[in-house]
Chain A
Amino acid sequence: MTGKTRENYNENYLNYVKTQDPPTKHLKNCASAFGVGGLICCIGQFIRYMLQYAGLTGDELAGSTSVILIFLGCLLTGFGVYDRIGRYAGAGSIVPITGFANSVTSPAIEFKTEGWIYGMAAKMFTVAGAIIVFGVFSGVIVGLIYFFI
C-alpha cells in the first residue's frame, strides 16, 4: 500500500478510489431507460392516434405530435418533474424528443437571472444549438447528394 515514488502514490490512490466508488448498476440503469423510453414513445403513439381521430394526416399529424410532446417536456421541466424522472431513467428521458425540450427549457429557466438576452435567450441553445447546427448541416448535405444523384 505504501508507495515510495510519486507514481506509486497516484496508482495506489486511483486503486483506492476504485474500491470506494459505488458500482454502476448497469442492469437496473438499462431496464429503467428501456421502460421510461418505451413509455414516452407509447404516449407519443397515443397522441398520434388521438390527432388521427381528430382528422389530421401526413406531415401535419407528425408535426403536431412532436409539438404536443415538446410542450409536455417543457411543462414538466418547468415544474421540476422532468429532472426527477431523468435521475431515475437516464437515457430513457434524454433520447426522446421530450429530452430535447428539456435541454432547451432547463437552461432557459436557470439562466434567466443573468438577463433575458445573454442569459435566457443565449443559453437556451447550449445543447439544442449543437443539434440544430449538425442537423441542418447534415440535412443540407443529404439534400445536395440526393439532388445531384
Chain B
Amino acid sequence: MQAELLAIFLQYLKAFAVGGGICLIAQIIINFTDLTAGKILVYFMLAGVVLTALGLYQPLVEFAGAGATVPISGFGYLLANGAMKGAERGFFYAVTGSLTAASAGVTAAVVFAFIMALIFKSRTKRN
C-alpha cells in the first residue's frame, strides 16, 4: 500500500517536472525571440511529431505520463503514433492514421468552443 502511494506520488512528480520543463523551454524561447503563441504551438507540435517518428518521444511518455502527453508536443506524439500504427495495417491507414488518432482532441475543441461561443459574450479585456 505504502509502496503504491509512493509510486503514484513519484508519477505526479515526474509529470510535474517533465511537463513544467517543456513549458520552461517554450518560455525561454519566447523570452529570447519574438515568437508568438501560435508559432510556439506549431513548432512544439512538429517537434513532438519528429521526436516520435525518431522513437525518442515514446520513452518520455512511458516515463512522465501526462507530463509528456498534456503539452502540445503530446498532440504531435498522438498524430505520429497514429500514423505509425496505421502504417502497419496498410497504405490507407498510414495516410489516415494521424488524423484518426487526433480526432478526439479536434472534435472536443470544436464542439466545446462552439458551446462556449453560444453561452459567453466577448468581454472587454481587463488589464
Contact = CB atoms under 8 A, between A and B. Distances in A.
| Chain B interface category by residue count | 35 or more
A80 B126 CA distance: 10
Interface residues of A, number: 75
Given A36-B23, A45-B15, A97-B71, A112 B122 contact: yes
A117 interface: no
A143 interface: yes
A35 B116 contact: no
A132 B67 CA distance: 22
A120 B93 CA distance: 33
A146 B75 CA distance: 19
Interface stretch (A4-12, A14-22, A133-141): A133-141
A23 B116 CA distance: 37
Given A100-B109, A139-B99, A144 B94 contact: yes
Given A108-B114, A109-B121, A131-B41, A139 B27 contact: no
A133 B41 CA distance: 12
A130 B98 contact: no
B56 interface: no
Interface of B: 8, 11-12, 15-24, 26-31, 37-38, 40-42, 44-46, 49-50, 52-53, 64-67, 69-76, 78-80, 82-84, 86-88, 90-91, 93-95, 97-99, 101-102, 104-106, 108-110, 112-117, 119-123, 125
